[in-house]
Structure 1
Amino acid sequence: MIDIIRLICDTGLLILIWIVQLIIYPSFSYYKHEDLFKWHETYTKRIAVIVIPLMFGQVITSSIQVYTNLDFYTITSSLLVIGVWLSTFLIFVPLDTNLSKREEVELSIKKLKLYNWLRTVLWSLICIITCYFKFKTL
């Protein structure tokens, strides 16, 4: 059951990050600043309803998997999950805060679009290795 929950979280985050990378963050450049500030406030609240449960689900299932079966998959995937959490809170939360405070707007948008490739790659790798190691026999 943990493997299924993990697959749901990994797949959900994979789909979400590609939508953010290819559609949402690039769209920020098309807004006038006042419109962007209004949209950003709405967007961050709405996306949090999706992201927070998936990220917590992923870190909880990853922790359970490491605890119950320490192997290459669980260690590697857990390190990648830690990488996503660190990048989220050290890079992306401050950039989103800049937009919320209306500070360094252009630079923050540019950094969001560029730096988000890190999370896109990490969540893609997480999903790929989960599918490979946990579901290769299906």
Structure 2
Amino acid sequence: MKFLVISNLSLTLIMSGIIWFVQLIHYPLFSKTNSNNFHSFHSEHTKRTTWLVAPLMIAEALICTILFIKMPTITTSIGLSILFLIWTCTFFVQLPIHNKLNKEFNTKLVHKLIKSNWIRTISWTVRAATCFVLI
């Protein structure tokens, strides 16, 4: 059980760090990119980010789910619910914006991406706090 709790915390802290970097540094730089090379920049961003983040998110979801099954408490329930919110926001808010940006640069979409990403940033931060409670 200790392995699951530590793995859960570790993966969540890694994702929290990544999302804060993306929120405060990476996404704001989108609007500083030349619109002529934005498509190539964004395509490369998507490939590299997916390569890093997808395995971490999948591992986090698996560990979080197993932890909830083996230890169904309020804290693990909250953690799993927050993770569900993060995934929902990722696939139904962030991904569609990225798909539109991949077709054409649009400053309003970049601002929408940054603004809507606060949901994931705050959610991963709160999730990290819930993971600490389990220790």
State the TM bucket, normalised to the shorter chain. Answer: over 0.9
Return the alpha-carbon distance in structure 1 between the equivalents of residues 51 and 4 of structure 2: 22
Does the aligned pair in 2 maintain the 1:5–1:57 contact within 8 Å? no
Number of corresponding residues: 133
TM-score (norm 1): 0.92
Q: Using structure 2 for the length normalisation, give the TM-score.
A: 0.94
Q: Which residue of 2 aligns with 1:12?
A: 14
Alignment of 1:33-72 (within 5 A): 33-72=35-74
Write out aligned runs for 1:20-31 (5 A).
20-31=22-33
Compute the displacement of 1:49 (Å). 1.4
**Structure 2 counterpart of 1:134:** 134
Q: Could you tell me how far 1:33 is from its partner in structure 2?
A: 1.1
- Could you tell me which residue of structure 2 aligns to residue 123 of structure 1? 124
The higher relative CO (CA closer than 8 Å, separation ≥ 6) is in 2
Give the secondary-structure state (helix, strand or coil) at the position aligned to 2:72.
Answer: coil
- Write the letter of the residue equivalent to 1:127: A
* Deviation (angstroms), 1:107: 2.0
Divergent runs of 4+, >6 A: none
Supply the AA of the counterpart residue of 1:75.
S
The alpha carbon displacement at 1:19 in A equals 0.3
Measured in 2, the distance between the counterparts of 1:122 and 1:85 equals: 10
Between the aligned partners of 1:130 and 1:34, the Cα distance in structure 2 is 43
Q: Which residue number corresponds to residue 110 of structure 2? A: 109
CA deviation after TM superposition for structure 1 residue 129, in Å: 1.1
Give the aligned CA root-mean-square deviation in angstroms.
1.1
Contact 1:25 1:113 in 2 (8 A): yes
Partner Cα separation in structure 2 for residue 5 and residue 57 of structure 1:
9
Deviations 1:52-79 (A, max 9, x none): 0111111101110111111111100000
Residue 75 (structure 1) aligns with: 77
**How big is the shift at 1:119?**
0.4
- Secondary structure of 1:110's counterpart equals helix
The one-letter amino acid of 2:51's match is V
Unaligned runs of 5+ in 1: none
- The alignment partner of 2:31 has SS state of helix
